[in-house]
Chains A and B, each alone.
Chain A
Amino acid sequence: KAGVTQTPRYLIKTRGQQVTLSCSPISGHRSVSWYQQTPGQGLQFLFEYFSETQRNKGNFPGRFSGRQFSNSRSEMNVSTLELGDSALYLCASSLGDRDGYTFGSGTRLTVV
């Protein structure tokens, strides 16, 4: 079966711009979580969506937002980009609370 698909794979944006990243979970998975990965901070939790509702949120500023659609696909948006937002953004899906994640390959965002 198809894995978690993230698009685009690479993105270069300028400071102040906004960006939208997309994630298609494994078919049947209703939980989608987003993480920011940087060399210095490791995997930082952004938010989790389940059945179109944000269920958990990490400690990120309001510039980071997300949503989930009825088909479980999810998007995350970052507004007013800063240089420090450069990172690998990972999406992970799971069947439910007691299941492991399946990660996508990530979107590499570079802010210049």
Chain B
Amino acid sequence: GENVEQHPSTLSVQEGDSAVIKCTYSDSASNYFPWYKQELGKGPQLIIDIRSNVGEKKDQRIAVTLNKTAKHFSLHITETQPEDSAVYFCAASKIQFYFGTGTSLTVIP
């Protein structure tokens, strides 16, 4: 089956700096890569996704890049704000979703 690895497990940045979270996957057939944000006491919320026919996608301060050859994809958050503090999960999917182990992001005011 698919194996998704996510790094780092924890990340602290100063407000206004950028944050980057990286994931690798093993199954070259995976073709859909969503990112989720989970705040305390809530379920994960989809924040951005990318499909295998696209290399990069951006939505305001959030961007995702995909390198199919290397089988890795990354989440980039620019101009971080305290409300960006949460746990972020990547996932890879062909049909079934496989999640990374999560990154706890802390934005220090």
**In the complex where A56-B95, A97-B95 touch, is A103 in contact with B49 (Cβ < 8 A)?**
no
Nearest residue, chain B, Cβ from A44: B99
Contacts of A102 in B (CB 8 A): 46
Asked if A101 contacts B97 (CB within 8 A), the reply is yes
Closest B residue to A99 by CB, please name it. B32
The residue in A90, A101, A102 that gathers the most chain B C-beta atoms within 10 A of its C-beta is A101
The bracket for how many chain B residues form the interface is 20 to 34
Q: Which residue of A lies closest to B49 (CB)?
A: A100
| Cα A112 to Cα B19 with chains together (Å) | 39
B43, B46, B51, B98 pick with most chain A CB within 10 angstroms? B43
Asked whether, in the complex, the Cβ of A105 is within 8 Å of the Cβ of B42, the reply is: yes
Contact with B along A79-101 (1 / 0, CB 8 A): 00000000000101000011011
> Quick one: which of A31-76 are within 8 Å of B by CB?
33, 35, 42-43, 45, 48, 56
- Given A42-B101, A43-B89: A103 in contact with B96 (beta carbons within 8 A): no
Which single residue of chain B is at the shortest CB-CB distance from A57? B96
Provide the bound-state CA to CA distance between A97 and B89, in Å.
19
Taking the complex as formed, is B36 at the interface, i.e. its CB lies under 8 A from any CB of chain A?
A: yes
Cβ-defined contact, B97 with A103, below 8 A: no
User: Closest 3 interchain pairs by CB?
Assistant: A103-B43, A43-B99, A42-B101
Interface residues of B (CB under 8 A from A): 32, 34, 36, 41-46, 49, 51, 89, 95-102
